[in-house]
Amino acid sequence: MVTESDSALAVSNPATADIIGYAPVSSDAEIKADIERSHTAQKHWAALPAKTRSGLLQRWFELLLENQEDLSRLMTLEQGKPLHEAQGEVLYGASFIEWFAEEAKRTYGETIPAHSGDKRFVTIKQPIGVACAITPWNFPIAMITRKAAPALAAGCSFIVKPSELTPLSAFAVVELAYQAGIPRDVIKVVLGNTAPQVGDIFTSHPLIRKLSFTGSTRVGSLLMQQSAHDIKRTSMELGGNAPFIVFEDADIDAAVKGALASKFRNAGQTCVCANRFYIHSNVYDTFVTKLDAEVQKLKVGNGLENDVNIGPVISESAKTGIQSKIDRAIEQGAIPVTPIQTLPGLFMQPVVLRNVSHDMDIVQQEIFGPVASIMRFDSDEELIHMANDTIYGLAAYFYSQNIHRVWKIAEALEYGMVGINEGIISTEVAPFGGIKQSGIGREGAKQGIDEYLDVKYLCFGGN
Ligand code: SIN
């Protein structure tokens, strides 16, 4: 039965506005006590053989798979994404646990040829200590496991504050970690009365040595400033403004397919979603017509219903923000290819806007909604200038079948990740992360575990 108390946060379904449950909220004193217990537990956790930690993570991975259906339904209920996307996210989230269960056994150091005969040099890698994370609502499970799994694999303990909008998935996935045998003080979920309050505790507490954040550039910058006080390690996965580029030599049908996947996944609410489209003038009309035809087929609705492609956006303020970006673009001259229907509640009709220009606000800002803004270009030089003309550098995509152009453009784009003839780039085996104001650090891949390890150099003298 759903009940409310003073120390519980109501969680609602964005598709229906119904309250679906309550999540426990901790006081400042409780969060600080959690950090202290986490600090003590970390010493024991780090002392376990890597193979033991690996086995516990492997069991956690298996439990996510065994509970895929329940976790997916819960995620759709609290986040709104279509059930098939939630099922995909559970597998994506689980994949990080499996990957880092394996990487736990491979935190190798080095031997270094010494500069004099009586010395020997060695490096070892050691866990940073207590790591904490602040995670967003758009991927309520995967953004937690992408941080928790490398932290635990490295021998850190881990405390996460999930988004207040999607805490139930966080509690569920961490409950499975306990069922796998990972000690309760080694991994924890905490919610405070407000997000800044928990951010303040995480960044000011001396026992926390590492903060990993996924969210906006504005908040990331603030957390980095706060973490600078006692020089905490930080990893930041921040905003994006991904260009999606189609050259005249591209396979247009493949580009349309990639554009649909990249732009409309999760109702356009991902940091790596295509945010602005640059299409060569010679293929512009064909691309726009084909993309709009596919977009008009997308079914908007409650993610639990069959065949829904686009669920609600996350909140009233998100809907108002996206709508005002569309309205402003239309005032500035953009034209919806198909007239826009206004939908009730938090639902939004996906939109393709043509006649967009590079200086419009909708191109300069992250949209985080189901809107494709389409511009034209004529030369590679002009294109590279516009694609890089942003403070962000997370993901970029382009379509071309000319191998010389592929290399030239791939090298020229100032982004941490580039999809070439591909609209979906995320995977646990490749490094995810941005440059410029899109962040610092990499998640997933062999690099991901290093974010939770310190390198120690041992100098053996007198040999
Ligand atoms: C994000 O939007 O921050 C993550 C997207 C992904 O992992 O694909």
Per-block average pLDDT, block size 10, for the chain (463 residues)? 66 98 96 98 98 98 98 98 98 98 98 96 98 98 98 98 98 98 98 91 98 98 98 98 98 98 98 98 98 98 97 98 97 97 98 97 96 98 98 98 98 98 98 98 98 98 91
Gap between the Cα atoms of 203 and 76, Å rounded: 31
245 close to 384: Cβ distance less than 8 angstroms = no
Question: By alpha-carbon position, which residue is closest to atom 8 of ligand 1?
Answer: 426
**Which among 304, 370, 313, 306 has a CA at the least distance from the CA of 338?**
370
Pairing between strand 242-246 and 395-399? Answer: parallel
What is the enclosing helix (H) or strand (E) of 264?
A: helix 252-264
Q: Which of 139, 214, 241, 264 to mutate to test the pocket of ligand 1 (most atoms within 8 A of CB)?
A: 139
Q: What is the pLDDT of residue 6?
A: 58
Which atom, in ligand 1's list, is nearest to the CA of 146? 7
Query: What pLDDT does residue 5 have?
Result: 54
Helices (H), 265-379: 281-296, 316-331, 361-364
Q: Whose CA is nearest to atom 7 of ligand 1?
A: 426
Ligand 1 atom closest to Cα of residue 214: 3
Question: Residue 84: exposed, middle, or buried by beta-carbon count in 10 A (0-12, 13-18, 19+)?
Answer: middle
Q: Of 343, 365, 406, 335, which is closest to residue 273 (Cα–Cα)?
A: 365
pTM of the predicted model over 0.95: yes
Question: How high is the pLDDT of residue 408?
Answer: 98
Please state the atom number of ligand 1 nearest to the C-alpha of residue 432.
7
Angstrom distance (rounded) from CA 331 to CA 205: 48
The H or E element containing residue 212 is strand 208-214
Phi, psi of 18 (to 5 degrees): -70, 145
Tokens 């003839």: give the residue.
Answer: 421
DSSP helix/strand/coil, 318 = helix
- Identify whether the C-beta of residue 414 lies closer than 8 Å to the C-beta of residue 437: no
Helices (H), 180-233: 195-204, 217-228
Per-residue 3-state assignment (H helix, E strand, C coil) for 413-432: CCCCEEEECCCCCCCCCCCE
To test the ligand 1 pocket, which listed residue (270, 367, 394, 397) has its Cβ within 8 A of the most ligand atoms? 270
Atom of ligand 1 nearest to the CA of 138: 2
Ligand 1: lining residues by beta carbon, under 6 Å: 138-139, 214, 237, 270-272, 426
Q: How is residue 223 written in tokens?
A: 């957390």
- Contact by Cβ (8 Å): 219, 196: no
Ligand 1 center to residue 433 CA distance, Å?
A: 9
Ligand 1 atom at shortest distance from the alpha carbon of 269:
2
CB 195 within 8 A of CB 226: no
**Per-residue confidence (pLDDT) for residue 1, from 0 to 100:** 38
Residue 432 alpha carbon to ligand 1 centre in Å: 9
What pLDDT is recorded for position 463? 86
Tokens of 141: 């499970």
Domains of the chain from N-terminus onward: 2-109+122-236 (3.40.605.10), 242-432 (3.40.309.10)
* Strands of the 371-377 sheet, one edge to the other: 335-336, 351-354, 371-377, 274-280, 242-246, 395-399, 417-420
Cα 129 to chain centroid distance, Å, stands at 23
Helix (H, G, I), strand (E, B) or coil at 322: helix
Query: Which tokens in the block code for residue 40?
Result: 């003590």
Closest ligand 1 atom to residue 265 Cα is 8
**431-449 as b/e: b if 16+ CB within 10 A:** ebbbebbbbbbbbbbebbb
Å from CA of 270 to ligand 1 middle: 5
Distant-in-sequence, close-in-space partners of 141: CB < 8 Å, separation ≥ 6: 64, 71, 75, 89, 90, 93, 169, 170, 173
Residue 122: strand pairing partners: 111, 458
Residue to mutate, 272, 367, 392, 425, ligand 1, most ligand atoms under 8 Å from C-beta: 272
Q: Which of 99, 141, 143 to mutate to test ligand 1, by most ligand atoms within 8 A of the CB atom?
A: 143
Residue bearing tokens 């969060």: 31
Compute the distance from residue 33 Cα to the ligand 1 centre, in Å.
32
Q: Whose Cα sits closest to atom 5 in ligand 1?
A: 270
Long-range pairs of 358-363 with CB within 8 A, sequence gap ≥ 24: 358/386, 358/389, 360/328, 360/329, 360/332, 360/333, 360/334, 361/325, 361/328, 361/329, 361/332, 362/276, 362/325, 362/326, 362/328, 362/329, 362/334, 363/275, 363/276
Ligand 1 centroid to 365 CA: how many Å? 17
pLDDT at 207: 98
**Cα 48 to averaged position of ligand 1 atoms, centre (Å):** 32
Catalogue the active-site residues. 237
